[in-house]
Amino acid sequence: MHAAAIDPELAADIEKFERLLRDHLAGQVDEDAFRVFRLNNGVYGQRQGGHNQMVRVKFPYGSVTAEQLDLLGDVSERYSRGWGHLTTRQNVQFHFVQLEKVPSLLRELAEVGLTTREACGDTVRNVMGCHLAGACPYEVLDISPWAEATFRYFLHHPYAQRLPRKFKINFSGCVTDCGQAMFNDVGVVAVSRPTAEGTVEAGFRVFVAGGLGANPHPAQALEEFTAREDLLPTIEAVLRTFDHYGNRDNKLRARLKWVVDQIGIDELRRRVLKERKLLLASSSYPGGIPAIVEELGDEPAGVSPTTEATPVGVPVTFKAPAKGSGDPFTRWESANVVVGVAKGTVSALAYAKLGDITAQQFRELASIIRDFGVDMRVTNRQNLALRGLSAEQLPDLYARLDAIGMAEPGAELARDVVSCPGADTCNLAVTQSRGLADDIGRALEAAGLADVGGVRINISGCTNSCGQHHIADIGFHGAERRAHGRPAPGYQMLLGGHVGDTQIEFGQRALRLPAKAAAEATVRLVGRYADERQPGELFAGWLERSGGPKVLGTELKDLDFWPDPEERPDYYIDFDETGPYVAEVGEGECAAG
């Protein structure tokens, strides 16, 4: 089923993992040293302890093939729980993998070109990219080959191994920023500028030092325009500057965003640009157009950037299902399909509830790729984009997706609640965020609001924003509460988060409330928005007109109520739990910050 040849570097990684694991189990490699090594290979300890591990597999810029999907379906059954979990950073995670079995899993992944190398730890993490790259009607450049070149260049790069903290890179093909470049250590956005000859030159605008975590920071522009041949040297210069000046003594203040707090953005710019200027002396200087970009080309799917500026600022969003139509296919097509311009591209979205993909779904998605001749990308909202379709294929595609429960209309809209794994497996989480996401989804469906467009809901099980609650219209993060002398699961609700058009707004605190009241709060907000919004108005605009987060939080204050535990014991038991709530927090390995 899969190729036998393994990339020599990946083979060496796996052989080293086998050797060090054997020595660790024999007591010859101590826990701290092995933990750092394990994390650098994408293997993360779970809250269940013992030898239970989460294995994170990288999909650079979300790209995944049929052969890989077949393999993932197979390994999900043999190594994990029969399903995998798509992340907001375009990875797939498998939980409850036993440590002793990790080397054989890594070898099978490598046989189909997949790696977990540097998916965790203080490394350059998975390189992300817009899931419609090469198929978007508004892009300036197809960033796919650029993201691929960046992934290849920094994998195993000496500067990418033992950084002060993790380092995240993201690509968007236009300033609409569907790839969400604005909260990454390096966010690359394709832009164009006029030339003296009267044409237009396509290149990039590089943003630096963004991040979420408990203290979110917006990324800021490094310079106005970065030429294509200067992109990789620029990213390496940022990486080297971070390596030189990042805080190695305090993990909580180690990300690049804290360097800005320490020295200021102007001084950071000066140091990065100086590093780039002198990088020419390096024996491995990465200047010029990368070979993979020359080979694949980076022409956009929209208007050619060399003759006319590509339209910008127009969100490539999936719409709400067509009203007045009872036909399921019509509703799905109106909501889940987007069409390109110059290349005539047709793309469709497959919905993965809570980001979960079963073994059967993995295999059927692989068959769809083969039968329809398309390619596939993981989205940053834990769904899958199928690209390279024709309009004639859409009815058959819908039927195939519907048969495996992945044809919900309006994916990436209100029903598409994003959540981190939460206290199901994470050491840092204090609440079962996945359970709340499921509860909110059910409540929206019951209220007839799941198809509402223009509003996004994200949940994290703690303040660290792995569920990206800071950038959601309606965001929640878990918090331990006490009521009637007992601990109880609660959430902080934030409103007004938004990322797009190379701008970012972080949600503001609106209300603290019990976990079991969060779904009702969401239904009230989404219902009011659906009733009161103006034509084409997004949630952010309605929120501002309605008084903002504080006013709306005050109007929901009745939900911050804790009934007597004898009358409502469910308020003191978290979702997916059977006994009284206890906030058990262990030592986090790579999630915080």
pLDDT of residue 48: 84
| Contact present, 501 and 207 (Cβ < 8 Å) | no
How many Å apart are CA 430 and CA 37, to the nearest integer? 27
pLDDT at 304 over 90: no
Confidence grade of residue 320 (pLDDT, cut at 50, 70, 90): low
How many Å apart are CA 227 and CA 271, to the nearest integer? 19
How many Å apart are CA 89 and CA 212, to the nearest integer? 13
Residue pointed to by tokens 């570097």: 9
How many Å apart are CA 265 and CA 238, to the nearest integer? 12
| Contact present, 46 and 52 (Cβ < 8 Å) | yes
How many Å apart are CA 34 and CA 578, to the nearest integer? 35
- The structure tokens listed for 446 are 């019951």
Is 279 or 50 the better-scoring residue by pLDDT?
279
| Contact present, 62 and 378 (Cβ < 8 Å) | yes
Q: Strands (DSSP E) along 43-133, which ranges?
A: 43-45, 52-58, 63-64, 83-86, 91-98, 128-129
pLDDT at 317 over 50: no
pLDDT (mean) for 55-62:
98
Amino acid, res. 90:
Q
Residue 187's DSSP bridge partners are 170, 207
pLDDT of residue 318: 46
- The structure tokens listed for 84 are 């995998």
| Contact present, 62 and 386 (Cβ < 8 Å) | no
Winning range, highest mean pLDDT, from 317-326, 429-438, 582-591: 429-438
| Contact present, 493 and 475 (Cβ < 8 Å) | yes
pLDDT of residue 326: 72
| Contact present, 410 and 323 (Cβ < 8 Å) | no
pLDDT (mean) for 562-568:
96
Residue pointed to by tokens 């036998």: 4
How many Å apart are CA 145 and CA 152, to the nearest integer? 10
Q: What is the pLDDT of residues 567-591, one digit of tens each?
A: 999 999 999 888 888 877 666 565 4
pLDDT (mean) for 447-461:
93
- Structural domains of the chain, with CATH: 8-111 (3.90.480.20), 133-296 (3.30.413.10), 328-403 (3.90.480.10), 418-572 (3.30.413.10)
Neighbours of 27 (CB within 10 A): 7
How many Å apart are CA 427 and CA 435, to the nearest integer? 17
Question: Nearest 5°: CA angle at 451, between 448 and 453?
Answer: 130
pLDDT at 346 over 80: yes
pLDDT (mean) for 217-224:
98
Residue pointed to by tokens 């799941």: 450
- The structure tokens listed for 347 are 């793309």
Residues 6+ apart with CB under 8 A from 22: none
pLDDT above 90 as % of the chain: 82
pLDDT at 516 over 70: yes
Quote the mean pLDDT of the chain: 92
pLDDT of residue 4: 61
- In terms of pTM, does the model score above 0.95? no
